[in-house]
Amino acid sequence: MNIFPLAIQVVNVLNFFITYADTFLSSPNSYDELFYEIIRMRLIFTNLNAMALRYSTSESYEYKEHALKLTNSLVNVRDIVNHFPPKIAAWLAKESLSTPTEQQILAIIIQNYDSLALKLQDNLDQYERYSEKPNHTAFFEEMVIINI
């Protein structure tokens, strides 16, 4: 079962928001909150990246190309997840705090945008047309059957 195309589509939506959201979101705070949520959910992205790396380096895996594409798609998310936590940890140590508030984290994010280097992803403006019966239906049906 190849879950990588679906994961790539999800990550591409995130990349679209990371790259262009400041031009269409209602306020700059929404962009800051996007980064906050990515950082807060970093374990999910770290595990997704680890899975993609594991399968992309496997010699005999049939979906190796899709896994490699997912690894490449995760580059900006990986950069965000690796960039901000050390800055947050340094700030917490400096302030002698153990549990920061959301506002404190958002302030750290805003202060450290300049030192974050993101990459422009190719083909974010291209998408598959909507289908009443998408390709992923069989995948989700199988997941439901397995879990029941």
137-148 residue pLDDT tens: 777 788 788 887
Where on the phi/psi map is residue 123: left (φ > 0), alpha (ψ -120 to 50), or beta?
A: left
Select from 106, 88, 123, 119 the least CA-distant residue to 27: 106
| Tokens 């790539």, residue located | 8
Domain layout of the chain by residue ranges:
3-120
Torsion of CA 116, 119, 120, 126, to 10 degrees: -120
Q: What is the pLDDT of residue 128?
A: 65
Mean pLDDT of all residues in the chain? Answer: 88
Contact 83, 55 (CB under 8 A): no
What does the pLDDT look like over 85-137, one tens digit per residue? 999 999 999 999 889 999 999 999 999 999 999 888 776 666 666 566 666 67
Select from 58, 22, 104 the least CA-distant residue to 66: 58
Contact 76, 15 (CB under 8 A): yes
